[in-house]
Amino acid sequence: MTDHVERNVQAKSPGGPAPFGIAKTDVIRVLFVEDDHDYREALAGDLADRGFSVQGFADGASFLEALDAAAVDADVIVLDWSLPQTSGIDLLPQMRRRGINLPVVFLTGRSLTKNESLAFDRGAIDFIDKARGVDVLVKRLRRAIEAARPVDRLPIEKSIVRDRLELRPNISRAYWNQIDVGLTIGEYNIVHLLASNAGRYVTYRAIYDRMHYAGFIAGSGDHGYRSNVRSAIKRIRIKFRECDPQFAEIENYMAFGYCWGAPTSPR
């Protein structure tokens, strides 16, 4: 029997100001799946010192068991790549099939480019080398959570309708012909960006920033991020075509970006 849920490490809130300027009630809740007990405990403590609450799991089985029991409540999921029995990269789609759409960040010592690319293809919002240290991790977790929030956070927001497309920003869901397309949060944010600019091309860089956050760097070379954008658009098109084989709303302008619907100008 695998280890079950580790102790829940709560953010420390002594009498003074909360660390890094966070309000005492604004605790970021993390689900952390890592099989190295000592590393898991040490990092959970470091994050708690910086205003996080961490619930740790030793493997994918105990994590999925907690999900099935609705025993988790979190803002972000942090996965190790190499886990016993079910690897982190294979755990991610199992979570999605269970309807868990929280942002996923990979924290791994296996920082190979092919692993990074696969993580983004599967819908992760970030991929971080363990060697970067806890301070970098804290900054990128905050950015990942911010990027995964609904694009517009007004108290009441109406649905956005573009012909057969309906976007519901309050729950970050996209519907085509009244069918839930099944987009991840990152994919939803891309469709929201494109549909909000229907008829106008949106640059690769703007799409990439919406996938992650402004200034995020990944891929090889100055324009390496474009391959990640193309992969994301490919996944989005596939999901829409599962609802409607005739779907053709996303057009590409070579070396520039993408457009929702018929473009009103060349760019």
Confidence at residue 35, expressed as pLDDT on a 0 to 100 scale? 92
Overall average pLDDT of the 28-38 stretch: 92
Q: Which fold has domain 160-260?
A: Arc Repressor Mutant, subunit A (1.10.10)
Tell me what percent of the residues of the chain surpass a pLDDT of 70: 79
Which comes out higher in pLDDT, residue 39 or 9?
39
Query: What's the confidence (pLDDT) of residue 165?
Result: 95
Find out whether 29 and 53 touch, Cβ atoms under 8 Å: yes
CATH of 8-148, one of 3.30.2130.10, 3.40.50.2300, 2.60.40.1120, 3.40.50.410: 3.40.50.2300
Across residues 58-65, what is the average pLDDT? 91
Give the type of residue at 101: N
- pLDDT in the model for residue 34: 94
Which residues have CB under 8 Å from 169's CB, separation 6+?
A: 150, 151, 152, 157, 159, 160, 192
- pLDDT mean across residues, the chain: 80
pLDDT tens, position by position, 193-208: 999 999 899 999 889 8
Whether 120 contacts 218, CB under 8 Å: yes
Q: In what order do the strands lie in the sheet with 52-57?
A: 8-9, 52-57, 28-33, 76-79, 104-108, 126-129
The domain limits of the chain are 8-148, 160-260
Q: Tell me how far apart the alpha carbons of residues 162 and 148 are, in angstroms, rounded to a whole number.
A: 22
Cα–Cα distance for residue pair 28/12, rounded to 1 Å = 12
Tell me, what's the pLDDT at 1?
40
Residue range 21-46: mean pLDDT, rounded: 80
Q: What is the pLDDT of residue 12?
A: 42
**pTM score:** 0.57
